Amino acid sequence: MVSIAIMGHGVVGSGVAEIITTHKNKLYTSIGEEVYIKRILDLREFPDSPLADRFTKNFEDIINDREIRIVVEVMGGINPAYDFVKRSLKAGKSVVTSNKELVAAKGAELLQIAKDNNANFLFEASVGGGIPIIRPMSQCLVANIVDEIAGILNGTTNFILTKMIDEGMDFDTALKLAQELGYAERNPEADVEGHDACRKICILASLAFGKHVYPEYVHTEGITKITLKDVKYAAAWGGVIKLIGKVKMLENGKMDIMVAPMLIPCKSQLANIDDVFNGIMVRGDCTGDVVFYGKGAGKLPTASAVVADVIDCCKHLKTRKYLFWTDGDSSNVIDYKDSVSSFYIRVKSDDKDAALQSAKELFGNISPIALDEYEGECAFVTEPLKYSDAENYVKALADKGYETLSMLRIGDL
């Protein structure tokens, strides 16, 4: 029997307890021992839970219990999760977490502590919910040099965008629905402003390139400014708008990394990833594109990834799994203003032809988007150029009287 503790009994934590209970025989077959939930840490009361006798409000009951070999952290947030995880690892207990905020902020340090204490620190559920991505990247794809990773990494925003695109639903109604379905973070600003996707691309970049990338190095834009008009222009162009987290290793050895809403052509593998689903494309030098797809949020998909890590820890109680990266700094990342892409630009103008002519003089070759539905504005797509240049041309267009209403990158995916 392997005794474990679960810290947090919210959406994911209760899902972990449920899977361990309902899949008891499956787990036994996999590891040859029973996984026993000895303690559940939560400040709330759960008198009706079948595991009511295991609840504690005191972390000391877990850290001081030598029988507990694996600690599952599904509380979310940095504090007190960081302190509890650190203490657990230092006590030689392996830790499994779904907490992307914690891994993105403290991953390098916690991996080092785990290594020093011959323990495992696993976080499959921190990216992509139920989609296997951390383990495939650290094991199956490890012979590749990864060129680029790009993904739809946030279920809530993908759900909202899908509702806007398919049903013309407004932003607030779609967000409310996502919250009711348990997809959104406690503070949904983390979803809609792109911070959650940022944490996830940081984890993937750190794993792929071996140096910790902190969220504060990553230019991040959310989806709050996307309008139904942009959605229609994207369709007329032949694509959809998706919130993309991407990182590309440049020839100068630096990472071009960001989170932003992008226009994706319909033929892209990421274009048809809808609702709460996530999709992650990994471009390896040997494999070419490999795409991972599945439910990126929700109780049981996320809990299934947590329980898989618990099983892995059970199988590696005496040995460490090699999953590691070292600390990094901002010199590993380029300024987002130097990042190159094509842009979709929508401008205000009563004279579309004149506006497009001015845009052509500034941006060079442009492709107007044919959509006559909206009066007093027009849209076009540029050739690839640096963000800083695009910004300067947008200012010059404004000086000529053509205010930019939207500017989004085109994802070359």
**Do 95 and 121 form a contact (C-beta atoms < 8 A)?**
yes
Please report whether residue 151 would count as binding ligand HSE according to CB under 6 A: no
Buried b (16+ CB within 10 A) or exposed e, 200-237: bbbbbbbbbbebbbbbebbbbbbbeebeebbbbbbbeb
Q: With CB under 6 A as the contact rule, which of the stretches 48-56, 71-79, 180-188, 249-257 interacts with ligand HSE?
A: 180-188
Closer of 156 and 332 to ligand HSE (Cβ): 156
Closer of 273 and 297 to ligand HSE (Cβ): 297
Sequence-ordered list of residues with C-beta below 8 angstroms from that of 13, at least 6 positions apart, any chain: 6, 7, 40, 42, 72, 74, 75
**Do 19 and 72 form a contact (C-beta atoms < 8 A)?**
no
Closer of 62 and 184 to ligand HSE (Cβ): 184
CB of 336 to ligand HSE, least distance (A): 23
Please report whether residue 191 would count as binding ligand HSE according to CB under 6 A: yes
What number of other Cβ atoms are within 10 A of residue 96's Cβ? Answer: 29
Q: Which two tokens stand for residue 346?
A: 């929508």
CB of 223 to ligand HSE, least distance (A): 12
Per-residue binding letters, 351-390, with ligand HSE (x by CB under 6 A): ----------------------------------------
HSE (side-chain half, CA atoms, 13 Å) at 272: 5
CA neighbor of 1 nearest in space, from 40, 23, 27: 27
CA neighbor of 178 nearest in space, from 296, 39, 41, 339: 296
CB of 185 to ligand HSE, least distance (A): 4
**Do 182 and 10 form a contact (C-beta atoms < 8 A)?**
no
Active site residue 200: yes
Which 8-state DSSP code applies to residue 365?
S
CB of 278 to ligand HSE, least distance (A): 7
Please report whether residue 304 would count as binding ligand HSE according to CB under 6 A: no
Member of 155, 245, 284, 294 binding ligand HSE (CB under 6 A)? 155
Between residue 260 and residue 299, which ones bind ligand HSE under the rule CB under 6 A?
296-297
Q: What does each C-alpha distance from 295 to 114, 131, 156, 277, 368 come to in angstroms?
A: 29, 7, 11, 4, 36
Please report whether residue 184 would count as binding ligand HSE according to CB under 6 A: yes
Member of 120, 154, 342, 349 binding ligand HSE (CB under 6 A)? 154
Please report whether residue 162 would count as binding ligand HSE according to CB under 6 A: no
Please report whether residue 88 would count as binding ligand HSE according to CB under 6 A: no
Q: With CB under 6 A as the contact rule, which of the stretches 51-59, 161-169, 177-185, 305-313 interacts with ligand HSE?
A: 177-185
What number of other Cβ atoms are within 10 A of residue 405's Cβ? Answer: 19
**Do 183 and 11 form a contact (C-beta atoms < 8 A)?**
no
Per-residue binding letters, 390-409, with ligand HSE (x by CB under 6 A): --------------------
Give CA–CA dist 368/346, Å, rounded: 10
Please report whether residue 129 would count as binding ligand HSE according to CB under 6 A: yes
Q: With CB under 6 A as the contact rule, which of the stretches 110-118, 149-157, 169-177, 331-339 interacts with ligand HSE?
A: 149-157
Q: What is the DSSP string of 151-202?
A: EE--HHHHHHHHHHHHH---HHHHHHHHHHTT-S-SSTHHHHTSHHHHHHHH
Member of 59, 84, 183, 402 binding ligand HSE (CB under 6 A)? 183
CB of 291 to ligand HSE, least distance (A): 18
Please report whether residue 411 would count as binding ligand HSE according to CB under 6 A: no
Please report whether residue 133 would count as binding ligand HSE according to CB under 6 A: no
Member of 73, 124, 193, 196 binding ligand HSE (CB under 6 A)? 196
Please report whether residue 245 would count as binding ligand HSE according to CB under 6 A: no
Which residue in the list 93, 100, 163, 200 is annotated as catalytic? 200
Q: Which two tokens stand for residue 98?
A: 């779904």
3-state helix, strand, coil in the chain (%, to 5): 40, 25, 35
CA neighbor of 94 nearest in space, from 70, 122, 67: 70
**Catalytic residue numbers, as ranges:** 200
Q: Which residues bind ligand HSE (CB under 6 A)?
A: 129, 154-156, 183-185, 191, 196, 296-297
